């Protein structure tokens, strides 16, 4: 029985709350792994490590991470409870013995191998078991094989690469293998530079993963301290994340659910100790908000808002747009080019559907990653090449003087059709104009006679839609948003139904919520064609009248007795 936990345990896996530790340890002794959002896994007396129906795909793979067994070790050492420590030792021993031969891709790969390496380092240092020591060093040798250190910036990395190298560094530092420790550290620095763009945006296409990387970098800094080495340049790179995530936070201080991000607040300890994170960490009760109210990031994001601290009853509009990152996409990026989200008057109107859950067998999971599930457009009866990318070709704003935001995003992924989405937030009128410019070359083959553009706006759960004289009015409580249009195609509303993937979005992890899709279709046909589909979103209060006219001059809006005409964004 060890008298205390090893220093690497406390570094890599800081102790959890006693009540949580007690609950998880009791669950393990009763034969169940509680994997949180990934499900529960039945251990039996001796596990077979095979997938189970009660876990999703990530849960099945996380059984090989072994971190879930640590509550037995932590509580056993703290209480000097031999039975808990013995069960921990038994489970780790069996896993090592059962995986001595060839291993599946996901056993050593991704986050699963990285977390297991860290767990084995903790177990080996605390218990001194030669089997655990050798397993930890073997795992570390597998994890460190990356050649990231040979590059200043490891393009193509994701968060799991950071976890793997942190485990390897811990193992080699603990075993005093300084050359291999230095290789692991070089990998860490290169991977971190690859995970964070120069402007602080993430490469995962998902702001929630930027927050996760911030947490992982704190682990890296603690690991450097435990190893007795400087952590530079990690704190500087971590600091770049804060301004980006401040822009990704909505007026309600939830992250926008872009990509595999859940619509939820940041962790309570996010950016703890860093003044740049005070505003978002405190939900606006401390610190100072950033100055910009319009930003565009290399990670493929545009964020715009009416202001940081709206007056009571004033505009609090917040919107986002997506384009292709300047670095390769990862598994957490959705096919969401040109997608828009819009929140105003405290209401989510136009949304991103979120991730649902990491279950490869789920049709809904796969659908929510596709373009058709986002507030964007698709082109039917045309071949597509996603590698062409969806590029930002203009992102400017006169926000310092109270002026408008203008963004244009060009989608060249469709073989014979280019669609350019230009948006303008008219700040003085608190309205957003969206124009989809369609330029189609002459089609080839019989199928091209049926080409059409399908424009979709994903409506949040709880939103109702009423069509009056071709103006859609969306409603939630006493809040309204009028949706005007011009150009071809009439409105249609598709409501989420069981058995269909259309119209659903993510609530909590693994929770699907029914919404609706406001959409229209415009025929393109075989001849060379150019056309423009205009949509104007006007948030307002119930009983407020904000008329809109779309004509050759552009868009004319009247609000509070003031009329403004703005040319269409181009």
Q: Find the range with the poorest average confidence among 33-37, 87-91, 254-258, 384-388.
A: 384-388
Above 90 in pLDDT, residue 309?
no
Q: What is the CATH number of the domain that holds 454?
A: 2.70.98.70
Closest residue by Cα to residue 92 from 112, 60, 67: 67
- Sign of the CA dihedral running 355, 361, 364, 369: positive
Give the structural domain span for 377.
334-566
d(CA 459, CA 504): 9
Residue 473 is assigned to a structural domain of this protein = yes
Residue 199 is assigned to a structural domain of this protein = no
3-state secondary structure 448-471: HHHCEEEEEEEECCCCEEEEECCE
**Residue where one domain finishes, among candidates 86, 112, 138:** 112
pLDDT at residue 561 in the model: 95
Residue 511 is assigned to a structural domain of this protein = yes
Tokens of 388: 């062409």
pLDDT at residue 310 in the model: 83
Question: What is the CB-side half-sphere exposure of residue 418 using CA atoms within 13 A?
Answer: 11
373 burial level (CB within 10 Å; 0-12, 13-18, 19+): buried
- Which H helix or E strand runs over 194? helix 178-195
DSSP character for 494?
A: E
Residue 8 is assigned to a structural domain of this protein = yes
Residue 417, beta-bridge partner list? 440
Do residues 110 and 119 make contact, with C-beta atoms less than 8 angstroms apart? Answer: no
Buried b (16+ CB within 10 A) or exposed e, 229-262: eebeebeebbbbbbbbbbbbbbbeebbbbbbbbb
Do residues 507 and 463 make contact, with C-beta atoms less than 8 angstroms apart? Answer: no
Task: Give percent of the chain with pLDDT exceeding 70.
Answer: 100
Q: How far is CA 370 from the centre of its chain?
A: 15
3-state secondary structure 282-316: CCCCCCCCCCCCEEEECCCEEEEECCCCCCCCCCC
Residue 265 is assigned to a structural domain of this protein = no
Q: Tens digits of per-residue pLDDT, 510-536?
A: 999 999 999 999 999 999 999 999 999
Above 80 in pLDDT, residue 239?
yes
Q: Tens digits of per-residue pLDDT, 122-142?
A: 999 999 999 999 999 999 999
17 burial level (CB within 10 Å; 0-12, 13-18, 19+): exposed
Residue 301 is assigned to a structural domain of this protein = no
Above 80 in pLDDT, residue 312?
no
Q: What is the overall mean pLDDT for the chain?
A: 96
CA distances from 514 to 353, 473, 567 (A): 10, 19, 37
Above 80 in pLDDT, residue 145?
yes
Residue 313's pLDDT band (cuts 50, 70, 90) = confident
CA distances from 519 to 457, 472, 483, 504 (A): 6, 11, 11, 15
pLDDT at residue 273 in the model: 86
Q: Tens digits of per-residue pLDDT, 386-441?
A: 989 999 999 999 999 999 999 999 999 999 999 999 999 999 999 999 999 999 99
**Residue where one domain finishes, among candidates 82, 112, 142:** 112
Mean pLDDT, residues 481-494: 96
What pTM does this model have? 0.95
Residue 559 is assigned to a structural domain of this protein = yes
What CA dihedral angle connects 320, 279, 308 and 310, to 10 degrees? 130
The count of structural domains within the chain is 2
Residue 420 is assigned to a structural domain of this protein = yes
**Residue where one domain finishes, among candidates 73, 90, 112:** 112
Q: Tens digits of per-residue pLDDT, 157-185?
A: 999 999 999 999 999 999 999 999 999 99
Mean pLDDT, residues 527-546: 96
Q: Tens digits of per-residue pLDDT, 176-217?
A: 999 999 999 999 999 999 999 999 999 999 999 999 999 999
Residue 229's pLDDT band (cuts 50, 70, 90) = very high
pLDDT at residue 16 in the model: 95
Buried b (16+ CB within 10 A) or exposed e, 431-440: bbbbbbbbeb
């Amino acid at each position: 029985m060890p008298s205390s936990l090893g220093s690497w345990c406390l570094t890599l896996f800081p102790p959890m709350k006693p009540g949580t530790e007690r609950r998880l340890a009791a669950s393990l002794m009763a034969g169940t792994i509680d994997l949180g959002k990934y499900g529960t896994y039945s251990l039996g007396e001796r596990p077979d490590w095979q997938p189970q129906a009660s876990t999703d795909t990530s849960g099945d793979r996380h059984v090989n991470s072994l971190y879930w067994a640590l509550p037995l070790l932590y509580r056993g050492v703290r209480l000097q409870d031999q039975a808990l420590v013995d069960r921990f030792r038994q489970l780790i021993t069996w896993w090592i013995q059962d995986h001595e031969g060839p291993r599946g891709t996901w056993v050593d790969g991704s986050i699963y191998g990285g977390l297991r390496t860290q767990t084995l380092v903790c177990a080996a240092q605390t218990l001194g078991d030669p089997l655990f020591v050798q397993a930890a060093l073997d795992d570390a040798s597998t994890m460190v094989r990356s050649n990231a250190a040979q590059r200043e910036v490891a393009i193509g990395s994701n968060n799991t690469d950071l976890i793997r190298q942190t485990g390897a560094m811990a193992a080699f530092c603990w075993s005093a293998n300084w050359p291999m420790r230095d290789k692991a550290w070089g990998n860490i620095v290169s991977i971190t530079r690859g995970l964070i763009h120069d402007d602080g945006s993430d490469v995962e296409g998902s702001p929630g993963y930027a927050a996760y990387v911030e947490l992982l970098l704190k682990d890296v800094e603690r690991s450097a301290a435990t190893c007795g080495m400087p952590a530079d340049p990690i704190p500087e790179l971590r600091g770049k994340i804060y301004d980006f995530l401040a822009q990704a936070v909505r007026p309600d201080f939830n992250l926008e659910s872009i990509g595999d991000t859940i619509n939820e607040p940041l962790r309570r300890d996010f950016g703890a100790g860093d003044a740049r994170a005070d505003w978002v960490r405190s939900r606006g009760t401390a610190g100072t908000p950033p100055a910009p109210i319009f930003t565009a990031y290399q990670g493929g994001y545009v964020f715009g808002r009416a202001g940081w601290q709206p007056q009571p009853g004033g505009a609090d509009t917040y919107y986002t747009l997506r384009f292709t990152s300047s670095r390769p996409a990862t598994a957490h990026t959705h096919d969401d080019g040109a997608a828009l989200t819009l929140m105003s008057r405290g209401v989510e109107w136009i949304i991103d559907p979120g991730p649902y859950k990491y279950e490869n067998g789920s049709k809904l999971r796969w659908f929510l990653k596709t373009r058709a599930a986002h507030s964007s457009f698709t082109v039917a009866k045309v071949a597509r090449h996603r590698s062409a990318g969806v590029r930002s070709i203009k992102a400017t704003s006169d926000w310092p003087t109270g002026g408008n935001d203008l963004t244009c995003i060009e989608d060249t992924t469709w073989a014979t059709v280019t669609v350019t989405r230009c948006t303008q937030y008219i700040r003085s009128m608190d309205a957003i104009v969206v124009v989809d410019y369609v330029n189609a070359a002459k089609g080839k083959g019989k199928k091209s006679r049926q080409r059409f553009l399908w424009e979709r706006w994903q409506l949040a759960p709880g939103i109702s839609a009423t069509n009056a004289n071709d103006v859609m009015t969306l409603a939630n409580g006493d809040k309204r948003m009028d949706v005007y249009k011009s150009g071809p195609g009439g409105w249609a509303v598709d409501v989420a139904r069981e058995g269909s993937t259309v119209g659903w979005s993510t609530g909590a992890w693994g929770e699907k919520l029914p919404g609706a899709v406001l959409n229209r279709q415009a025929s393109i046909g075989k001849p060379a064609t150019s056309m423009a589909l205009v949509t104007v979103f006007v948030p307002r209060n119930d009983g407020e009248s904000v008329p809109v006219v779309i004509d050759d001059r552009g868009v004319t809006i009247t609000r509070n007795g003031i009329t403004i005409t703005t040319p269409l964004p181009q």
